[in-house]
Structure 1
Amino acid sequence: MPADKPTNIPKVCYEIFVRSFCDSNGDGIGDLNGIISKLDYLADLGIEAIWLTPIHPSPSYHKYDVTDYYAIEPEYGTMDDFRRLLAGAHRRGMAVYLDLIVNHTSTLHPWFREARKSKDNPYREFYWWMTQDQIDHLGISERETSDDSQVVYPWHTNPGDDEKYYGLFYKGMPDLNYHSEALREEIAKIVRFWLNDIGVDGFRLDAARHIYPEWDREQSVTFWDFFSKIVAKANPTAFTVGEVWADTEEVAPYFRHLNATFHFDLSFALQRMLVAGRDEQLIDKLIASFNLFQKYNPLFVNAIMLTNHDQERIGSVVNGNTAKIKLAASILLTLPGQPYLYYGEEIGMLGSKPDPYIREPFLWTADPDDPQLARWIKPQFTTPKTVAPLSAQIHDESSVFNHYKSLLHLRKTEPALAQVLAPNLQPVRLGNDELLAYFRPHADRSLMVIHNLGEHEVEFTIPEDKSLFTEVLFSTDPPHEKQLTTNRLSPHSSIILAPARVSAKPENQ
């Protein structure tokens, strides 16, 4: 079983692609000091934890190929900068999670530089090596592509060597081989360094299902048993959230050892539903997944998101339709779980693949010379012509930003929405697949949520057992402000209903 959960699990998390968020020194690259300058913004928005994409030295723009696990990428700042970021976040009640890449390193990492020198090098065992005959004998020279890797031929040549090394994602990212006890000890040192010496609050764990290659797949889950014990010993309250990009059935066993995993099935279902305008029996499927997860860990944390740094941005999925962008947020932030917002979702940023263009700079203002603006890439999707910058949205009550902010405030203040552990969710059947409706039961105050996914106004009938739910807590449909005035819901609108308050009768005089 995983270590005991932190006593205060952050309810709303925010993923920052560091290079693109905010520049502090005019070099065009987002950095740690830029993030520090926006901590008040994040706290005001309602964020309780931030996940930083990799901040270690790396030859790539995305930093997922690490060359030094103990240092900070110089483009992003220094270790002192990171300590200030950590302290500033903690003062504001925010946790900080590091993206930890333990599936692979860069070919430029000292371990691999040594490993590729000869078969006798002690670091050789840190990676996977085979001759072509061995690869052919095992039938593993090719692989089927997956959502998280399009590589078909994962074996790569090392000049002057009759053995090839295994790199699932890219030839510049050789996979680590955890059959090596020496490697396991090195990873344990890294975990202890960041949790104890530096004081981070936890890790987002990259490629968690690929720790061992496909022919050794069953070992990947057991690796996290080893890892979770290291984390628990270093800091029992540290939080772990795994990237297990797979179907729910494959994800579930990882809850034995990780506090949370991302719910990719939910992400893709939401995207399909927003495009098609129809429910896919989402609530029934979610409840089934919860029942499966709790078999492995009764205290599982369901990490939910619309999209992340590897997926087309939700704004582009819905073709920039502002009503659908808001609807996506309304659904995500009224479902149970621990939501992760991808930076810029709160202003409706756009982005389609290839990857750099789903990681474009955050638009703080419309000023093309804004010194905060990252300039490492010329954006193709998120520009002042296509997306209103934050500076404009803050003062617009109808903006995507204020929609997010209102929902986040409501989520944190309503216990029925704020519940993370033991997800409280029941279906509400309205007999129309253009409507997505569900019930969030809670001892303090239960809530009913209804979304119109379709392109037309829809009439509905509230079930008899929910007839008291007529007080409107939140609505994107103007006719419904404080009370449910009509059983109609406009296209792409959402409404959150609470039981009507009963006025006390005056005592007889």
Structure 2
Amino acid sequence: MFADRSASIPKVCYEIFVRSFCDSNGDGIGDLNGVISKLDYLADLGVEAIWLTPIHPSPSYHKYDVTDYYTIEPEYGTMNDFKRLLAGAHERGIAIYLDLIVNHTSTLHPWFKEARKSKDNPYRQYYWWMTEDQIDHLGISERQTSDDSQVVYPWHENPNDDEKYYGLFFKGMPDLNYHSDALREEMAKVIRFWLNDVGVDGFRLDAARHVYPIWDNGESISFWEFFSKIVGEAKPSAFTVGEVWAETEEVAPYFRHLNATFHFDLSFALQRMLIAGRDEQIIDRLLASFNLFQKYNPLFVNAIMLTNHDQERIGSVVGGNIEKIKLAASILLTLPGQPYLYYGEEIGMLGLKPDPYIREPFLWTPDPEDPQLTHWISPEFTTLKTVAPLSEQNGDLNSIFNHYKNLIHLRRSEPALSQILAPNLQPVRLGDDQLLAYFRPHAERSLVIIHNLGDTEMEFQMPADKSLFTEVLFSTDPEHKSVLTKSRLSPHSSIILAPPRNARAAEKQ
């Protein structure tokens, strides 16, 4: 099991889709030197870890179809650039997590180029191959679509070959077959290279539930046992966070071998709640999930997010409503767990599928010719007409950006908010599902958080055992300054309350 590293677990993480973030050389494509140029910005925002989407060579714009696990995509830079990024991040106390794709490669990867040559090729065993009769016998020619793959027919033809290869996500991304001991050793070398030779701090693990196909899915958990053993031997401090896009019950067993997994159930519940303006008993559901996760790993880390690079952006989910965008941030950054911000959420970026349009360029300044601005795609949703760029929001105290920045710094400074292991969370019952309220108990200072999810002002009656919580630490309702004087909350607003200092002193005596 994992060691207790609570002090070193980054409290706020930031996902960067490298191609869209910041251009350093004028080719319109985001790159590693662009990320380096923004490390001070990220440190000032309060980010403590960066998850970089894939930076390996790849024929696609998104880079999830790897052709070489050991080098850097030339569009993004060089290995020396990456090492400078790593050093610069570490100087600022920021960890770097590499997006590692262990489920599949590109058809252009040398392994697959060899594998497709003949059945006798030693690399054939690295992938899944079956004849039509074998596929039909197992009844696996078709599959049900899932949130993370819309492919119905996952078997793909190889010219002049009576066997087909399996590719869950796309015919250009054949799935790897970890029944091959030779493949496992190759992946172990990849892990050791990035952790020891290069020095990354951990991995975000793509498609973790699909490492084995559905007909062999019972093997997926055992693969992560193998994986975590290699990671632990190579670098005991390394952090692993898995993409297990599934319901909580299926996610929980992955905590046996991973430090964290993303909480997709929470992500989608928050989106529904923000649209409907009603609580879904989310605190009770979170507590139930914590109890389940704890059975597999008492030191589980709940990786929480609003959306990521595969989901429609939260700004568009709530219809571009700035107050709801702020409310979403207020909820995310006051719940227990390790929050992951998707680049640009802090300025209210917009985006609806298809995927390229949820990965549009970050807006740094109002200058359409800004050399930092990437232009590999013409944006449909995040434009200078729809979203205020960072430079404008920076000086606006009421901007989305400053809302995020203030909340992040409050989260990092308040022990009750920053606790990640053994999540400190209790429901506060206010009697109306338009209000979402919860308690974050802590020996140093406990907090009560209340959100008004709806479109109308709401009155509330604080429970008797929380009546001393009257000091306002944070509020988006202008009626509330330093002390709670009115028990009502304006639409889409949030408030964080603590007991007065004299009350806390009395408690300790």
Normalization by structure 2: what TM-score?
0.98
C-alpha deviation, 1:500, in angstroms: 1.5
8 Å CA contact 2:6, 2:421 repeated in 1: no
470 and 205 in structure 1: CA distance in 2 versus 1, 3 angstrom threshold: same
| SS of alignment partner, residue 42 of structure 1 | helix
8 Å CA contact 1:2, 1:256 repeated in 2: no
138 and 87 in structure 1: CA distance in 2 versus 1, 3 angstrom threshold: same
User: 2:279 maps to which residue?
Assistant: 279
Amino acid at match of 1:454: G
C-alpha deviation, 1:223, in angstroms: 0.4
| SS of alignment partner, residue 125 of structure 1 | helix
8 Å CA contact 1:472, 1:484 repeated in 2: yes
C-alpha deviation, 1:7, in angstroms: 4.9
Separation of aligned partners in 1, 2:245 and 2:7? 27
User: 1:233 maps to which residue?
Assistant: 233
| SS of alignment partner, residue 323 of structure 2 | helix
Q: What are the Cα deviations for residues 340-375 of structure 1, in whole angstroms up to 9, with x where unaligned?
A: 000000000000000000000000001000000000
294 and 504 in structure 1: CA distance in 2 versus 1, 3 angstrom threshold: closer
Matches within 5 A, 1:62-461: 62-461=62-461
Amino acid at match of 1:205: L
User: 2:500 maps to which residue?
Assistant: 500
Separation of aligned partners in 2, 1:90 and 1:75? 24
Separation of aligned partners in 1, 2:108 and 2:501? 64
Separation of aligned partners in 2, 1:281 and 1:182? 48
Separation of aligned partners in 2, 1:246 and 1:2? 23
Separation of aligned partners in 2, 1:503 and 1:50? 39
504 and 399 in structure 1: CA distance in 2 versus 1, 3 angstrom threshold: closer
8 Å CA contact 1:252, 1:296 repeated in 2: yes
8 Å CA contact 1:430, 1:462 repeated in 2: yes
Separation of aligned partners in 1, 2:125 and 2:438? 52
Separation of aligned partners in 2, 1:503 and 1:128? 65
C-alpha deviation, 1:3, in angstroms: 6.0
User: 1:471 maps to which residue?
Assistant: 471
Separation of aligned partners in 1, 2:376 and 2:193? 31
Matching of residue 27 in structure 1 with residue 23 in structure 2: no
Separation of aligned partners in 2, 1:22 and 1:371? 9
8 Å CA contact 1:271, 1:317 repeated in 2: yes
8 Å CA contact 1:167, 1:173 repeated in 2: yes
| SS of alignment partner, residue 451 of structure 1 | strand
8 Å CA contact 1:5, 1:239 repeated in 2: no
8 Å CA contact 2:192, 2:231 repeated in 1: yes
Root-mean-square deviation over aligned CA pairs: 1.0
Amino acid at match of 1:362: F
Q: What are the Cα deviations for residues 298-322 of structure 1, in whole angstroms up to 9, with x where unaligned?
A: 0000000000000000000000000
Amino acid at match of 1:241: V
3 and 193 in structure 1: CA distance in 2 versus 1, 3 angstrom threshold: farther
8 Å CA contact 1:6, 1:239 repeated in 2: no
C-alpha deviation, 1:503, in angstroms: 7.8
Separation of aligned partners in 1, 2:64 and 2:2? 26
8 Å CA contact 2:142, 2:152 repeated in 1: yes
C-alpha deviation, 1:398, in angstroms: 0.2
8 Å CA contact 1:473, 1:496 repeated in 2: yes
Separation of aligned partners in 2, 1:485 and 1:329? 25
User: 1:462 maps to which residue?
Assistant: 462
54 and 109 in structure 1: CA distance in 2 versus 1, 3 angstrom threshold: same
| SS of alignment partner, residue 261 of structure 2 | strand
Q: What are the Cα deviations for residues 137-180 of structure 1, in whole angstroms up to 9, with x where unaligned?
A: 00000000000000000000000000000000000000000000
Amino acid at match of 1:410: L
Matches within 5 A, 1:33-52: 33-52=33-52
C-alpha deviation, 1:5, in angstroms: 4.4
C-alpha deviation, 1:502, in angstroms: 1.5
C-alpha deviation, 1:397, in angstroms: 0.2
C-alpha deviation, 1:108, in angstroms: 0.1
Normalization by structure 1: what TM-score?
0.98
Separation of aligned partners in 1, 2:201 and 2:99? 11
Amino acid at match of 1:263: H
Amino acid at match of 2:183: L
- Runs of at least 4 residues off by over 3 Å: 1-7
C-alpha deviation, 1:501, in angstroms: 2.0
C-alpha deviation, 1:485, in angstroms: 1.4
**Sequence identity (%):** 83
| SS of alignment partner, residue 266 of structure 2 | helix
Separation of aligned partners in 2, 1:106 and 1:500? 59
C-alpha deviation, 1:395, in angstroms: 0.2
341 and 108 in structure 1: CA distance in 2 versus 1, 3 angstrom threshold: same
| SS of alignment partner, residue 143 of structure 2 | coil
- In structure 2, list runs of 5 or more residues that go unmatched: none
| SS of alignment partner, residue 469 of structure 1 | coil
8 Å CA contact 1:6, 1:237 repeated in 2: no
